[in-house]
Amino acid sequence: MQDGDKAPDPPRSSQPPRASLPPPPSRGWWRILFAFVWVSTQVGLVITADRRPDGAFGFRMFSESSTIKIVLYREVVGEEGERKPIHVEDGVWSARDAGGLKRRFAWTDRVRRRELALFDTEMSTKYGTSAQLARLEAALDDVATHTPDDADTRRFLLDVTVRKNGGEPYVVHLASAERSGGGS
């Protein structure tokens, strides 16, 4: 090729020229969608905090200053068929099993948290009375469900004396579900 010569034309195609395609969509929209969903979820949790017993995700400038005193009872059937509550000292009791043998049972065999297993003593409610009562109710049902060898107990009862923010005390009565084998 010499200096004055033109470059040869590229070979012609029988197809018409293609329109230029738009650039591929950015992958950043997934990040924006994730951020939107995450922030929306957090806002929803904060707005609904008062609907949960423990108030999780809710802001409280001053925490609740309440105390409770928990008293545990077993409800058994007396000799004449009447139901009577028996105070359980320190969460430990003896009862007959299905074979008639006396056995020892303890609340702490199932409930490990100290604030749910400290009886007959006034204590602070770290997360508020609603949360503490909900946890006590769950613990009560758990003990009732998982002590099948106790053939004497019909159900477990908790009397919880609540003093909310230094006000007058009131008693909340909690009862487990009726046990099928107890008291027969």
- Assigned token pair, 130: 């609603």
DSSP secondary structure code for residue 166 in this structure: G
For residue 1, count other CB atoms closer than 10 A to its CB.
7
Residue 1: pLDDT above 70? no
Q: How many CA atoms lie within 13 A of 1 on its CB side?
A: 6
Residue 146 CA to residue 176 CA, distance in Å, equals: 12
Q: Are 143 and 113 in contact (CB under 8 A)?
A: no
Residue 150: pLDDT above 60? yes
pLDDT digit string, tens, across residues 170-182: 999 999 988 875 5
CA distances from residue 39 to 45, 74, 162 in whole angstroms, order as listed: 10, 48, 37
The answer to which of 6-10, 63-67, 138-142, 169-173 has the lowest mean pLDDT is: 6-10
pLDDT for 50 equals: 74
Residue 4 CA to residue 54 CA, distance in Å, equals: 88
